[in-house]
Amino acid sequence: MNSMSTHFVPSRRMGIYEPIHQMAMWGDFKDSNCDDTSPPLILEIEGKLDNQSEETSHGTVGPSSKYDQESSRRPDKVQRRLAQNREAARKSRLRKKAYVQQLENSKIKLLQLEQELDRARQQGLYAGGGLDTSQLGYSETINPAITAFEMEYGHWVEEQNIKISDLRNALQSNVGDMELSVFVERGLRHYTDLFTMKATAAKADVFYLMSGMWKTSAERFFFWIGGFRPSELLKVLLPHLEPISEQQRFEICNLRQNCQQAEDALSQGMEKLHNIVAEAIGAGRLGEGNYLPQISAAIEKLEALVRFVGQADHLRQETLQQISRILETRQAARGLLALGEYLQRLRALSSLWSSRPVEPT
């Protein structure tokens, strides 16, 4: 079985080593807790519901009274589900409308503040302690791409909460694996949408994305290169996947070990990039006042930061895909539910922490 390998490829222009990782079929690395004599990993999930779908398509022959009772109950169940979906969609539309209105109001306030600062500069009343960017021919403005990302991410969180609720109801109602697999695929695609959004935002303002200001404070506490650390997430989710077979445990063990190695490689690359950017900014004499050449050189070096964020998100996405292949459908659904609730708890922690009563000193 192929393994995930992480290499550093030297960049002639940058003078740094950029981590390039490939994640295909995991398993060459052995964990100390795993048996070396175990069979190779098989990460493919085969279909388990052909018989069930065949019975559904062909139907079964039984007493007419039983068939009438089942047929009378099914429309009621369908109607209840449709009503629940309509109500959830209505509430989602209301939340979206309120959120968009809030963002628009915030944008208007920011624009008004920027105009007031511009008027203060013109009147000579603004005495900032830092760099007066107006003298350099540019000023800091609101990035439309980042504003759009904040709105899209707010919608993403709302949809995520709805998907978590739907997934929980599906597991509690004990639906079939075929229907449950639809929820799993939707959940995975939802995370893929997030990574696509982040890639666009990173190109617009990678510093903003790396700062985690679009996340809550508790989520930023666990931040790693623009998101969660995959190996830590596997550690959190593993207890919620039980019961699992020894083979599945072995494969998850190898998956986490490979994630840690890829994370270490990316972290080392980030540390190297920090040093290079610091050297570029500090080049030449300090105190001369003309440092635009150093800033321009640092900006060129920071192009690699966008690639680091993309590689970290690729590692996160591949980890979700691989764990879904290791697990069976119902296990994968429980894993996605546990992941969603874990992120919800972090957001709740931030809210409760910020609103906690603080005793005066």
Mind listing the pLDDT tens digit for each residue in 238-260?
Answer: 999 989 999 999 999 999 999 99
Report the distance separating Cα 159 and Cα 82, nearest Å.
17
At CA 284, angle to CA 283 and CA 285, rounded to 5? Answer: 125
- AA letter at 96: K
Count Cβ atoms within 10 A of the Cβ of residue 219 and give its class: 0-12 exposed, 13-18 middle, 19 or more buried.
middle
Report the distance separating Cα 354 and Cα 361, nearest Å.
17
Report the distance separating Cα 106 and Cα 126, nearest Å.
23
Q: What percent of the chain has pLDDT over 70?
A: 69
> Residue 5's beta-bridge partner residues?
22
Instruction: Identify the pLDDT of residue 71.
Output: 55
> Residue 10's beta-bridge partner residues?
17
Within the chain, which residues score under 70 in pLDDT?
1-75, 107-142
Q: In the chain, what are the domain boundaries?
A: 81-124, 144-352
pLDDT tens-digit series, residues 152-210: 999 999 999 999 999 999 999 988 999 999 999 999 999 999 999 999 999 999 999 99
